[in-house]
Structure 1
């Protein structure tokens, strides 16, 4: 046999490398055609095309020179004479010319495919599909909540990574550990919020939501239902003072005053979730005015400042669940009743739903079974007539509660509303009241007020048949649906509302 290639090529390692790289290359081409032209596959096909198969292709290419090197070393040890000569290319020789053009053509194709593959691999690892669906059980809570959020059309990396090579490399290095944690089953349940190493909001959120933009006031209307036999409805409408009364005032008024470029708010927190804030500092950057507020109920010891970090307030300190919010049962059941997903005509359905959701389940399947059995038994025992004549409503309530459960509670990952405090508002978590407590006071006698009218004005409240409405621009005093006298003024909402209270 006449050998047309160097003798070092003829060894099993090199042949294996050639075989692996050739098969990988053609499989990449074939699967790319299938996914591109036939629109078949999914997140796993992308993983195979752009990450797994290219890894095998590169492995095969590495094996080729390794085999040639080992074969040359073996030939040298065996005493096979070999004259050293530099390669010579003579394009007038047809053999050299054919080999040269084959090499150039294959190299060009390989470089083109490598470039396209690298670009597609980059895009794939940056895609929402990759982030949300590749690790189904691990990221299912985050991906489910994301799909129902206001940011459902924003890619995960636009918020979690942002622009720039530095944070891209940092995210990929972090991703390596995450892959290891998934493979070794050592990831935390629930997944922890990366508060300590989160990229500043001014480098991510403010790419779209810039502070200088004026945000007008917003009307928020909600329907709530009491845990009584008739699921009594209680409506409330509020004017949220996101911005000032008049746009000319800019960020001098309203909730977004906190991000006024002329104001700097700093704080110290003593817990990992930033729920306890005993120290706040206000600085007016234009005038140099400074006020320091200490919580009279939770004062820091003088030596504590040396070990605690001073944080600068930004968007995420309030909007900490912009895309992955898990609603408390009291909220998502009210929403389901309002939307008709759970029939409000069913007696005691709000109360029964709350009692069911008090339980912590090991799996989603066990929760689905428990919901169905409990609702069916309750109406069969307590309302046999409804069970007989309007069972379709009972079935609708079962399906509605199951669907709402699957959007907000994920037993396998230990994800529920209580795992991730939401700092917007102050009903189920302290949120605003972490600072606006009346107990944060300065040495000059100033305090951070908890006056309701600072952030919102109630313009209507009460049962729909007896709705109390305010006169223009004059907010109503809050009226609790259940008579608790003045208690709502003296304690935080969270003293009673834990996600399960109506």
Structure 2
């Protein structure tokens, strides 16, 4: 019968040796299944697995070349423990459905703060903020966008800060050692409307963005509206180091690196400026970007025929390198440009620290706005940058109390009327090259007394025009009011970019980039 045949087929072994062999076989299969399953789980948290679905070439390339290349995706994006793993797989299933059905967003939005593990469980496993050196020397080589691509050195002392949470006058890292919360208008947190900073004694200092104020004598309704409509975020490492896992090199730094290494010939006229123009652009396809880069040869043929005839190989090599840089900074099929994802570390290409330290976030006391703001002096997070053909002397010590005045950069001439600090108290810390670093730019010819209402006229009257302004001000700073670039050397700003949108107007929502027609 059928039952007897099944019994003969699946009958249990009768000898101990056969039973032992069966147990070994079953155990081997069980161990292999567990090991394979564990390895499969680990693989699902690697860049190799994640990159098979997310068509984000620059993200993967940046991770592979970045300082965290040995850190898997899951170590930063998945909360530790079983619950975190289950949550990640549920979210991954939703993403899989979006990919299969073609409903995934383009570009991929940045992760919300609530979806990321606590930075103490990720960054804190390797980086102890309390033990980071209070000052770090940073030097960089950059090239200007003039005809000769002038080579410049930039040097400054960055002040990460100390472990003293009571000292907030200088440095950066006390932000994550203290209880600091903010409310932002957009998913990138490029427009911060309200900031709450809790002191060790429990007192709260609240600062409101000037663009959110309707009645200065009573901002309570404004604060209530902000807290009701915007997301509350606890400040963590992610707020400044938001691209640390995927440090995509922006066009400016990418071109500087290539020019410095000789991969692009710095003697080609305006190659830095033209490379910036190509790389900051928005294109429907990679081929369209390549076609724009190829036009550089026509530019040299038309305007620099001698260069075109004598350096054809250098021109072609520069074009090919610019094409490679584009592939490392943009993904047109996902509508991702070089400006899609702001990098909040610094403030040269994006608002960065100026999101709060812009002089426009005012302290609230008894429901009314005061004249006090979040500190915004140039030396709060770093020393005054030294820019020139060679790095000048950098002051390292704690500056005198007079330097805390936000207007000191303008009125210090009352103490040191000459570019040579010798014979004055300034000479104890500063050498002549430090002063000449600013004075030789023409910035001192600009009168700042009436800058708020008359800076356009002051710029017109300055011998160097807006070039003097660019020594202190970055494009992102001016873009708070200006929709178009106003500083020489500033990158073209795409419509809808966080750096291109003036502060205050409503409607700053995802996506923050120009829509590319397909």
Q: Say whether the fold is shared (TM-score over 0.5).
A: yes
Q: Is the 1:362–1:412 Cα contact (8 Å) retained in structure 2?
A: yes
The equivalent position to 1:173 in structure 2, one of 84, 87, 90, is: 90
Residue 292 of structure 1 aligns with which residue? 206
Is 1:332 aligned with 2:249?
no
Residue 26 of structure 2 aligns with which residue? 107
Give the superposition deviation at 1:265. Answer: 0.9
The equivalent position to 1:462 in structure 2, one of 388, 395, 410, is: 388
The equivalent position to 2:14 in structure 1, one of 87, 91, 114, is: 91
Q: 1:2 to 1:424 in 2, by over 3 A?
A: closer
Is 1:315 aligned with 2:237?
yes
Is 1:238 aligned with 2:159?
no
Q: 1:155 to 1:88 in 2, by over 3 A?
A: closer
Residue 375 of structure 1 aligns with which residue? 296
Q: 1:113 to 1:326 in 2, by over 3 A?
A: closer
Secondary structure class of the residue paired with 2:313: helix
After superposition, the C-alpha distances for 1:70-97 in whole angstroms (9 at most, x for unaligned) are: xxxxxxxxxxxxxxxxx986827xxxx8
Matches within 5 A, 1:100-249: 104=23, 106-132=25-51, 134-135=52-53, 138-196=55-113, 197-244=115-162
Q: Is the 1:441–1:447 Cα contact (8 Å) retained in structure 2?
A: yes
After superposition, the C-alpha distances for 1:277-310 in whole angstroms (9 at most, x for unaligned) are: 121111112x223211112232335334234333
Q: Is the 1:336–1:404 Cα contact (8 Å) retained in structure 2?
A: no
Is 1:277 aligned with 2:192?
yes
Distance 2:264 2:33 in 1: 53
How many residue pairs get aligned? The number is 410
Residue 477 of structure 2 aligns with which residue? 493
Residue 411 of structure 2 aligns with which residue? none
Secondary structure class of the residue paired with 1:238: strand
| Of 445-454 and 355-364, the range deviating more from structure 2 | 355-364
Distance 1:413 1:265 in 2: 35
Q: 1:395 to 1:114 in 2, by over 3 A?
A: same
Give the superposition deviation at 1:201. Answer: 1.2
Distance 1:500 1:222 in 2: 23
Q: Is the 1:427–1:494 Cα contact (8 Å) retained in structure 2?
A: no
Distance 1:363 1:158 in 2: 33
Q: Is the 2:265–2:318 Cα contact (8 Å) retained in structure 1?
A: yes
Secondary structure class of the residue paired with 1:278: strand
Secondary structure class of the residue paired with 2:179: strand
Q: Is the 1:201–1:314 Cα contact (8 Å) retained in structure 2?
A: yes
Q: Larger radius of gyration, structure 1 or 2?
A: 1
Give the superposition deviation at 1:492. Answer: 5.3
Give the superposition deviation at 1:147. Answer: 1.5
Residue 268 of structure 1 aligns with which residue? 183
Q: 5+ unaligned residues in a row in structure 2: which ranges?
A: 214-221, 398-428, 443-463, 480-484, 494-518
Q: 5+ unaligned residues in a row in structure 1: which ranges?
A: 10-86
Q: Is the 2:193–2:212 Cα contact (8 Å) retained in structure 1?
A: yes
Distance 2:46 2:123 in 1: 18
Q: Is the 2:280–2:337 Cα contact (8 Å) retained in structure 1?
A: no
Give the superposition deviation at 1:436. Answer: 0.7
Is 1:431 aligned with 2:352?
yes
Q: 1:88 to 1:139 in 2, by over 3 A?
A: same
Q: Is the 1:461–1:469 Cα contact (8 Å) retained in structure 2?
A: no
Give the superposition deviation at 1:320. Answer: 0.9
Distance 2:146 2:277 in 1: 13
After superposition, the C-alpha distances for 1:25-50 in whole angstroms (9 at most, x for unaligned) are: xxxxxxxxxxxxxxxxxxxxxxxxxx
Matches within 5 A, 1:396-415: 396-415=317-336
Distance 1:334 1:292 in 2: 40
Larger relative helix fraction: 1
Q: Is the 1:417–1:499 Cα contact (8 Å) retained in structure 2?
A: no
After superposition, the C-alpha distances for 1:203-247 in whole angstroms (9 at most, x for unaligned) are: 221111233223331112223322221112233211111125xx8
Q: Is the 1:215–1:243 Cα contact (8 Å) retained in structure 2?
A: yes
Q: 1:190 to 1:443 in 2, by over 3 A?
A: closer
Give the superposition deviation at 1:335. Answer: 2.4
Distance 1:424 1:310 in 2: 21
RMSD over equivalenced CA pairs, Å: 3.3
Q: 1:405 to 1:251 in 2, by over 3 A?
A: farther
Secondary structure class of the residue paired with 1:370: helix
Q: Is the 1:282–1:292 Cα contact (8 Å) retained in structure 2?
A: yes
TM-score norm. by structure 1 comes to 0.73
Is 1:449 aligned with 2:375?
yes
After superposition, the C-alpha distances for 1:245-289 in whole angstroms (9 at most, x for unaligned) are: xx88997641112122xx21111112222111121111112x223
Secondary structure class of the residue paired with 2:383: strand
Q: Is the 1:229–1:348 Cα contact (8 Å) retained in structure 2?
A: yes
After superposition, the C-alpha distances for 1:12-67 in whole angstroms (9 at most, x for unaligned) are: xxxxxxxxxxxxxxxxxxxxxxxxxxxxxxxxxxxxxxxxxxxxxxxxxxxxxxxx
Q: Is the 1:428–1:494 Cα contact (8 Å) retained in structure 2?
A: no
Distance 2:126 2:361 in 1: 33
Distance 2:474 2:108 in 1: 35
